[in-house]
Amino acid sequence: MRVPRLSLCAGLLAGAWLLLAPRPSVASTVIVKYRHAGSSGRRLSAFRRAGVTATVGSVRGQHARVVAVSGDPVVAARRLAAAPGVAYAEPNVALHAFAAPNDALLGQMGDLALIHALPAWSAIGLGAFPATGGVPVGIVDTGIDPSHEDLAGKVAACASSVEGTITVGSCADDNDHGTHVAGTIGALANNAVGIAGVAFASKLVVCKALDGAGSGTTADVASCIRWVHDRGAKVISLSLGGPGSTTLAAAVHEAWANGGRSGSVLVAAAGNDGSAAIEYPSGYPEVVSVAAVDDAGGHAGFSNANAKVEIAAPGVQVLSTKRGGGYVRFSGTSMATPHVAGAAALLWGLHRRSSAATIRDDLDATVVDAEPAGRDPYFGFGALDLARLK
């Protein structure tokens, strides 16, 4: 009997794109400007209704005041703006310096531009581009080249599986696929070479389940999922797919751990059949299924589209690391998956005491909706947009 095998979801293309957009975040203060008319008593009453607690500053040259509020500054500004004697009121939003890492190929990384990674990193306090401090991310794939200049020191733990038996300390990549995925997730930022990973501060827990041809058995994938989870991976990236099985379903169920604080967020490729076919593990309810978008943010023609798709991310002409050094462009839902895994790691970093289920909900909200409106088979809840991280 032929043993079902799970395989990677990737191809090779070339090209690049660039798009940047900022996003401010709302602070706990409001800017309010008064009209000359209006009594101080009416003004005080408006302050009370809006939850103003104190005047903390002013805007030079505009005769406007900065006031602290106890509740939502958007609601407070709306109430103040409607009050007699108030010319206007608006939230005192925070703006950020858009620090850019000095990675040599950053300008060719259209995927990071498409998901607004640079302004998001600054907004969440990663503008200094630390090499460590992020939550561990598990990668179940063809292994990794840990000597690559952009992956040096990134591997926290390494193993491989053969017929379900784990060998610790061996995870050499003999395909390129796993090294490419690893670079998209965790390549060093601001090291003056190559690229930057979405979650560049995260360590990688790597388990080789796929061989040089890019395929592996259910036993190997299931064993690797358990191994990376047991070693503390808060996110598990699975750029692979194939038929479902009781064994694979049990592995993802155990790693998800009912969505609790000990659970891992599992992220898997939707598949490259260009059809409505459902691949596994992406088809399991515990797993975030990732579709691919092209350089314009549209649905990639090769990407599967079905009711299991949860999020879409860049998956065409993605530049990342390759074994032996250097960089290569691959396309596939395999390339979209590590973008979402990296985003999940950033969310875990912001909310360390959260649960896997909450991080997944937050991840589903870190998107921009695409046509058709609402959740759909092509984009799921929408296309990944790190500007919406919170």
pLDDT (tens digit, 9 = 90+) per residue, 36-72?
655 566 667 778 888 898 889 999 888 899 999 998 8
Q: Which two tokens mark 101?
A: 């890492």
Residue 135 contacts residue 158 (beta carbons within 8 Å): no
Q: Of the residues 111, 141, 150, 376, which is catalytic?
A: 141
Order of all β-strands in the sheet with 165-168: 165-168, 155-162, 204-208, 137-141, 235-238, 265-269, 287-293, 309-314, 383-384, 367-368
Closest CA to 287 of 244, 252, 336: 252
Q: Of the residues 177, 180, 299, 339, which is catalytic?
A: 177
Q: What pLDDT is recorded for position 96?
A: 56
pLDDT (tens digit, 9 = 90+) per residue, 364-376?
999 999 877 889 9
Q: What pLDDT is recorded for position 373?
A: 84
User: Does residue 28 carry a catalytic annotation?
Assistant: no
Please report the DSSP string for 324-357 in residue order: TSSEEEEESHHHHHHHHHHHHHHHHHH-TT--HH
Q: What pLDDT is recorded for position 20?
A: 27
Distance CA 11, CA 333 (A): 9
Secondary structure of the chain: what % helix, strand, coil (to 5)?
Answer: 25, 30, 45
Residue 256 — pLDDT band, cuts 50, 70, 90?
very high
Residue 142 contacts residue 212 (beta carbons within 8 Å): yes
Instruction: For Cα atoms 109, 214, 241, give the angle at the middle one, nearest 5 degrees.
Output: 85
User: Does residue 334 carry a catalytic annotation?
Assistant: yes
295 residue type, one letter: D
Residue 10 — pLDDT band, cuts 50, 70, 90?
low
Q: What pLDDT is recorded for position 253?
A: 98
Q: What pLDDT is recorded for position 35?
A: 79
User: Does residue 141 carry a catalytic annotation?
Assistant: yes
| Domains recognised in the chain with CATH numbers | 5-21+98-388 (3.40.50.200), 25-94 (3.30.70.80)
The average confidence (pLDDT) of the chain is 91
Residue 143, C-beta contacts closer than 8 angstroms, at least 6 positions apart: 160, 171, 172, 173, 174, 175, 178, 179, 206, 208
Q: Of the residues 334, 362, 376, 385, which is catalytic?
A: 334
The β-bridge partners of 34 are 86
| Residue with the larger pLDDT of the pair 35 and 316 | 316
For the chain, give the percent of residues with pLDDT over 70.
Answer: 91
Q: What pLDDT is recorded for position 34?
A: 83
| Residue with the larger pLDDT of the pair 8 and 186 | 186
Distance CA 152, CA 291 (A): 29
Q: Which of 13-17, 42-46, 141-145 has the highest mean pLDDT?
A: 141-145
Mean pLDDT, to the nearest integer, of 110-115?
A: 97
pLDDT (tens digit, 9 = 90+) per residue, 217-253?
999 999 999 999 999 999 999 999 999 999 999 999 9
Q: What pLDDT is recorded for position 6?
A: 76
Residue 24 — pLDDT band, cuts 50, 70, 90?
very low
pLDDT at 21 over 50: no
Residue 302, C-beta contacts closer than 8 angstroms, at least 6 positions apart: 11, 272, 273, 274, 292, 331, 332, 333
